[in-house]
Amino acid sequence: MEYNQIELAGGRRHKSSQDSIVEVGPSPRHGPQGKPRLERYLGFLPMLAFAATLQASWEAIGASMIAGLLNGGPVVLIYGLMLAIIGSLSMALSLAELASITPVAGAQYHWTYELAPFAPRFLSFMQGWITMVSWWANAATSPFLIGTQIEALAIQNNPNYEPKSWHATLIIWAVLLIPLVVNIYARRLLSAVEVLGGIIHIVFFPAVLVTLIVLGSRNSSEWVWTHFENSMSGWHNDGVIWSVGLLTAVYTLSGFDGVVHMAEEVKDARRVVPRSMVFSVMINGIVALGFTIGLMYTMGSLEDALETPTGYPILEVFYAATKSNAAASGMLIMFVLPGFVALFNGLASVTRLTWAFARDEGLPFSNFFTHISPRYKIPLRALFLVSIVIVLLALINIGSTTAFNALLSMTTLGQYISYLIPVIFLLIKRIRAPHQVRWGTFRLGFWGIPLNLFTIAYGVYIIIFLPFPPEYPVTARNMNYAAPVFLAAVLFALVDWFVRGRKQWQGPRIKVSAE
């Protein structure tokens, strides 16, 4: 049996064989036993399914491919996805190594605090806000996509229907209600829900792809593998076109840290969480690449797909293949159902992250939000906080769809920045003082430095182009407001630091030991 030792406050040592959460610093508001804990009941298979369906990569390719079709077309969607798979896998491996060291719901801000070469309190506080706000935006993305897909089905089946912005807001609220209820009342069914979601995620893939292969029109191999679309988006530089189109693939493989935020409910988290993270990226990458290649061969006219009134080229592709509104609608529903599971997962993950940040005194009114319901065994108040944030964000869509999209567009930008910060600090520690790192069971060894370097280079490249709008010339309507919104979130975190955080935030007050 393997043991791990960790020094606690007062110089005591604790020695044991399974993961446990222990408090390592005195809290001004709680005693040593004052921090609530979550029950560990999840194993490897549910967590692998959780991570895989949270990304829902092949479904996301179909739902968000319009930017890729405008910028680069097949060449960017296929080869760009190959690059995104390599980059995302590299990043997942780097984060998995950190998750093996400290598998805890706070994740990134814990790792930053432990590894930062200077100002760990300030940097971890800012990291916590960046990670949490990015996941709040991410949690609002799923109901928005599901809602607009439902609107697309209404337009496809009733050409006289004219969608209004408030329609989308009401649909977002309705879509949110189901995962909210499941998160509250079906916590013990999480394992079964995750496995079922994983099965749907895999089974629907051949069902959609085989239908397209049998009924869809054929594009030539030359078009699929060599056609570079550079005349539709308005951008004139092929490098910019490639980079902007690449973001479709990047978006579909992001969010793989979601499983880490569930770590405190996972048995043997040091082993299960890193494996789930890495394997989910591999599985999603392979399936998404297969779907993209098949879709490019069978989608027919690129222009017809982009001119669809529904806003979803994939729905036009389905209709062109089946010549039936009912069949096309049924195929799009195969995208909507996994989206519900992904929303359930995302809501659960961001709730644990929010709760963990409150537990470490990172949120205003932390005492209130750190509460765990004794009846439902979940951080119920944190769950309601996240749900209220989504409800309020959806109201913005009534006034301005562009402003709402700006909030959603910062999701990937904020997440990638939250990934890069601890990886950079890990690389510095790995080079300067590797003996000070308490390595976990998942270790990159010799490949650590080159993999971290590639991860950083890839992440910086992606962050540079994430704020680029998909079309040029840039107008108020098509502007990508990811960077301004992200900077606004950072400014809010800075104000909170000087007003409250520098007095209350002492860094993470808990660590993971082996028990």
Domain count within the chain: 1
Q: What was the pLDDT predicted at 449?
A: 94
Q: Is residue 385 part of a domain?
A: yes
| Residue entry with tokens 């650590």 | 448
Q: Is residue 31 part of a domain?
A: no
Give tens-digit pLDDT for 92-126: 999 999 999 989 988 899 999 999 999 999 999 99
Q: Is residue 294 part of a domain?
A: yes
| Surface-to-core class of residue 10, CB atoms within 10 Å of its CB (0-12 exposed, 13-18 middle, 19+ buried) | exposed
Which of 384, 488, 498 shows the shortest CA–CA distance to 134? 488
Token digits for 281? 């990226």
Cβ neighbours around 491 below 10 Å, total: 10
Q: What was the pLDDT predicted at 23?
A: 53
Q: Is residue 28 part of a domain?
A: no
Residue 161, classed as helix, strand or coil, is coil
Whole-number Cα distances in Å, 70 to 76, 216, 330, 418, 444: 10, 21, 26, 29, 38
Distance CA 176, CA 189 (A): 18
Q: Is residue 26 part of a domain?
A: no
Q: Is residue 2 part of a domain?
A: no
Give tens-digit pLDDT for 206-264: 999 999 999 988 899 999 999 998 888 888 888 999 988 888 888 888 888 888 988 88
Distance CA 265, CA 106 (A): 13
Which of 436, 408, 331 shows the shortest CA–CA distance to 115? 436
Q: Which domain holds residue 423?
A: 39-514
Q: What was the pLDDT predicted at 468?
A: 83
Q: What was the pLDDT predicted at 345?
A: 84
Token digits for 37? 């804990």
Q: What was the pLDDT predicted at 1?
A: 31
| Surface-to-core class of residue 254, CB atoms within 10 Å of its CB (0-12 exposed, 13-18 middle, 19+ buried) | buried
Residue 491, classed as helix, strand or coil, is helix
What does the CA dihedral 279, 20, 350, 414 come to, rounded to 10 degrees?
Answer: -70
Residue 226 sits in a domain whose CATH number is: 1.20.1740.10
Q: Is residue 8 part of a domain?
A: no
Per-residue pLDDT of the chain (515 residues; tens, 9 = 90+): 333 333 323 333 333 345 655 555 444 334 334 556 777 877 888 888 888 888 888 888 888 888 888 889 999 999 999 999 999 999 999 999 999 998 998 889 999 999 999 999 999 999 999 999 999 988 888 888 888 889 899 999 998 888 888 888 898 899 999 888 888 887 667 777 778 888 888 889 999 999 999 998 889 999 999 999 888 888 888 899 998 888 888 888 888 888 898 888 888 889 999 999 999 999 999 999 999 999 999 998 888 888 888 888 999 999 999 999 999 999 999 988 888 888 888 888 899 999 999 999 999 998 899 988 888 888 999 999 999 999 988 887 776 666 656 666 678 888 999 999 999 999 999 999 888 888 888 999 889 999 999 999 999 999 998 888 878 887 777 777 778 888 888 999 999 999 999 998 988 877 665 54
State the sign of the Cα–Cα–Cα–Cα dihedral 65, 67, 68, 69: positive
Q: What was the pLDDT predicted at 195?
A: 80
Q: Is residue 30 part of a domain?
A: no
Distance CA 434, CA 449 (A): 11
Q: What was the pLDDT predicted at 13?
A: 35
Q: Which helix (H) or strand (E) holds 174?
A: helix 165-185
Q: What was the pLDDT predicted at 3?
A: 30
Whole-number Cα distances in Å, 274 to 101, 183, 200: 10, 24, 23
State the sign of the Cα–Cα–Cα–Cα dihedral 391, 396, 399, 404: negative
Q: What was the pLDDT predicted at 35?
A: 58
Measured in Å, how far apart are the chain's first and last C-alpha atoms? 12
